[in-house]
Amino acid sequence: MILASISPAQWALVVPCCAATLYIMFAALVRYGHPVRRVNTDEKPVSLRPVSVLKPLCGFESRLHANLETFCKQTHPCFELLFGVASLEDPAVAIVERLRAAHPDTDIKLVVDASLYGSNRKVSNLSNLENRARHELIVIADSDISVQPDYLVKVTGPLLTAGVGVVTCLYRARRIGNFWARLGALFIDEWFSPSVYLAHAAGSQRFGFGATLAIRRETLDAVGGLRAFRNCVADDFSIAQAVRRMGLRTYLSGMHDDEVVLRGNIQRVRNREPVRWRVEQAAARDERGGLCKPGRIPERTDFALRLIARARAAVESVI
C-alpha cells in the first residue's frame, strides 16, 4: 500500500537516492576492509634493487620543496633522483639545488634539456630523464605529491612478482587554499578514489596514475620507451595500458600519495581532473586500447575532447 501511494515524481527522487546510498555503502566496504577484492595492502616481496626516480618539473608550485624532499628521505638503500627541467631559468632549479645541499648523501641529478619529441611536453621531459637513468627499476612520479619513507621499497616490491608489469598508486588530496581548492579535493577523495576502488573490486585493471608508475626498464623498452607516448593525452594511462597489452597486469598498490590541490578558481576545478578522467575512459574504450598514434589521438578520445569543450563553453556562457 505504501509503495502504491508513491507518485512517479517521488519515485524519480527515491530511486536515485537509494542507488547513491548503495553505491556509497559498497565503496566503503571495498575501501575499509570487506573481503571483496580489496586493494593490495601487503606490498611483498620487498624490493631492494636499485631504483631510478624520474621527476619532471616545470615552474614553482606550492610545497614543491617539501614534496620533493620526501623523496630524499627514502629508506631504500640504493636509488637516484632525476629532476628534469627545460631551462636553467626554471624556478624549480633553485629548489633542486637546495635539496642537493641539504641531502649530500642522496644521488640527485638535475637534467636540463629542452628537447621536444611530440605534443606532450611532460613526456618529452620524462624521455630526457629516461635516457640518463642508470637503474633497472624506474619510478615515475609527479612533482606535486609527497610520500612516506618506505614508499620506494613498497611500490617496487610487486615488480618482483611474476606477471606484474606496472605498479600504480592512488592519491589523497591535500588542499591549500579556498573553496575551489576544497571542491577539487572533494572530487579526488569522494568521487575519483571510490570509483577506482569499485572498478578494482569488479576486477578492472584499466588504470594507471601519474602520481606513481613503477616499471621495469625491460618492460618500458618493450613498449617503445617513454617517447612512444609523446603524443598521448593521458600518458600515464596509456603506458599502463600498453603494458597490459603485453599480457602483464597492473598492480594497484595500497600505498597512498598525498597530492597538493592548490588555491584556484572555478576554471581550474572544472578543467582538471573531471576532463582528464573522461578522456582516460574514452581512451580505455578505444579499439586501440588508449594508445596514441604519432600526430593524432584515438577517434573516440578526440570526440570526447570536442564534446567536453562544447559542454564547458555552454557552462561558461551562463556563469
Which amino acids are annotated catalytic? 236
The x, y and z cell numbers of residue 197, run together, are 576502488
Are 281 and 235 spatial neighbours (Cβ–Cβ below 8 Å)? Answer: no
Strand ranges of the sheet holding 51-56, from the earlier edge strand across to the other edge? 107-112, 79-85, 51-56, 137-140, 213-216, 164-175, 249-261, 145-146
Distance CA 166, CA 159 (A): 7
Contacts of 157 (CB under 8 A, 6+ apart): 43, 44, 45, 46, 47
CA–CA gap between residue 182 and residue 177 (Å, rounded)? 7
List the one residue out of 22, 52, 30, 77 whose CA is nearest residue 252: 30
Distance, CA of 99 to CA of 235 (rounded, Å): 28
Q: Tell me how many degrees the CA angle 206-212-216 measures, rounded to the nearest 5.
A: 85
CA–CA gap between residue 59 and residue 89 (Å, rounded)? 9
Quote the CA–CA distance of 100 and 141 in Å, as a whole number: 19
The C-alpha cell 606490498 sits at 43
